[in-house]
A and B are shown apart, each in its own frame.
Chain A
C-alpha cells in the first residue's frame, strides 16, 4: 500500500492520540465502530465556554483511519463545539491522500464526533433541568 507522506507522518506520530485524565473539566466522549470495516474510534474533547479546547482520540484501525482521526482532532481544537456536528471527512479525504474505497472507515470518525456532540447536548440539557 502506498501512503501519502501526511498519512505516514500522522500515523507514526499522531499528535492528538491518547485520553484525558478522569475528572478533566468539560470532558465529553463519543465513539463509533464498524466491525466489518475493522474500525473503532473514540474521541474525547474538552469543551469550555462553548469551544473545543482540546481533542484526543483512540483508534483501532488502519493507518488511514489513524491519520484521519489525528487530523480531525487537530481540526476540532479551537472551534465552537458545534464543529463536532460539522466534521466532514468526505471533504478532506483526498487532501489526506486516502483512497476513496477507504472513505467508509473515515466516515466513522464523523460518527464518533457526532456522538461527542450528542453527549455534549445531553450534558447541557441536564444542566438546564
Chain B
C-alpha cells in the first residue's frame, strides 16, 4: 500500500530512526543523562560516558580511532573547520587551496571567503559525467598548496569521486586532503584508512540521526586553527557545551547503519526507478551511470518545466536541485557545471531514496511521472526548441 505522501528526498534529510529517538530521549529530562558532560559530578560523568560511547560508535563505523572524531553542529560547520582551520594553521606552508566546481556550497562559499582573505583557490574541472580526474588534482598541486577538498558523494547527482586515488596523490606531495562525506555514511561502507585522508566531514541527519549534529575526523598530527573560542571541549578544536542527546543519537544512528545491506537494497530501488523513468521519451540521467551512490538519481525531463513537474507530483517529496538551494531561483551550479543549460537544469529533479522507500512507492512515482510528463509536454505543445535544450 502506498502512503498518501511519499518521501524521496533522503539526500536532504532522513527521518530519525525510532531506536535513535529512544536513546536521545534517555538524555533529556531530569531523570535522564541530561547533565553537562563537562561537569565533574556524577551526572556529568554519566553524560560524558554516553558521549564517549557515541564517539566510539561513529569512529567504528568509519574505521578510525575514537580520539580522532570531534563533534560539530553538522557537516557545514565541519567543512568550514576543515578549510578555514587547515589553511590558517598552515599559512607558513602556503596559501593555496584546491577544490572542485561541483562541491557543496558549504565548501565553495568557504573557499570564496578564504579568497577574500588572500588564499588562492584552484577550482578543478571534471568530465561530463561529473568525475574529477585525480591526475588533474595532482597537476594542480603546487609547492604552496596546503589543502585539497573534494566531496565523496555529490549531493545533487550521487556521483562518486575516486577519493582513494585523489588522497594518494595528495599525500605523495605532502598536501592535506579533506573529504566531505556527508552523503556517504550508511549507503557505502567507509574505511578512512583506505582513503589517505586527513580531514573528513560527517553528519548525523542523512543517516537517520538528528539534525544539528555532525563531526569532523582529524587525522593525528593535523593542525587546525579553531573557529570558535571559549572552552576546552573537543580538544580545543570546537569548544562549547556538548549536546549529549544529539551526540548519543548520532552514535546510535551510525551504529545502526548497515551499508552492506542498505547499499544493495538502495541500488535496486534506484535502478527500478530509473528503469521506469527511462521509458519516458527524452529523459536523461545526470552523472556517471555506474560510479554513483546507491541512493541518488538526478534526471532531466526536457520540455517540462521543473516547478510544474514538482507541483504535478505534489504528494511526492523530491528536490529540484539540492535541498540547500531549493528556494534559490538560480539553476543548480552542479548541473550548470556539468554542461546543462539553465533551461534543462530547471527541468531536472533529484530523487533520493532511503531505508524506508518501498518498491510500491517507486512504482507509484514512476506511474505518476509517466502520466504527468506527457501531460505537461502537451500543455507546452508548439513551444520553441529552447524549452527542451
Contact = CB atoms under 8 A, between A and B. Distances in A.
Interface of A: 1, 3, 8, 11-12, 14, 17, 19, 31, 33, 35, 38, 40, 42, 58-63, 66
Contacts of B310: 1
Given A61-B305, A62-B305, A3 B380 contact: no
B285 interface: no
A42 B310 CA distance: 23
Contacts of A12: 311-312
Nearest to A14: B379
Interface in B255-314: 303, 305, 307-308, 310-312, 314
Contact of B380 (A1, A40, A63): A40
A114 to B, nearest CB: 18
B311 A60 contact: no
B343 A59 contact: no
Contacts of A61: 305, 308
B230 interface: no
Nearest to A17: B379
Contact of A35 (B308, B314, B386): B386
B311 A19 contact: no
Contacts of A59: 379-380
Contacts, number: 52
B157 to A, nearest CB: 21
Interface of B: 303, 305, 307-308, 310-312, 314, 342-343, 346, 379-384, 386-387
Give the top 3 A-B pairs by smallest Cβ distance, nearest first.
A60-B380, A62-B307, A60-B383
Contacts of B380: 40, 58-60
Given A14-B379, A17-B379, A38-B342, A60 B387 contact: yes
Nearest to B326: A1
Given A58-B380, A58-B383, A63 B311 contact: yes
Contacts of A14: 379
Contacts of B386: 35
A11 B381 contact: no
Contacts of A58: 379-383
19 contacts: A3-B311, A8-B314, A12-B312, A14-B379, A19-B381, A31-B382, A33-B384, A35-B386, A38-B305, A40-B387, A58-B381, A58-B383, A60-B303, A60-B387, A62-B305, A62-B307, A62-B308, A63-B308, A63-B311
Nearest to B303: A60
B383 A40 contact: yes
Contacts of B346: 38
Given A38-B346, A61-B308, 14 more contacts: A1-B311, A14-B379, A35-B343, A58-B379, A59-B379, A60-B303, A60-B305, A60-B383, A60-B387, A62-B305, A62-B308, A63-B307, A63-B308, A66-B379
A19 B382 contact: yes
A38 B343 contact: yes
Contacts of B312: 11-12
Nearest to B347: A38
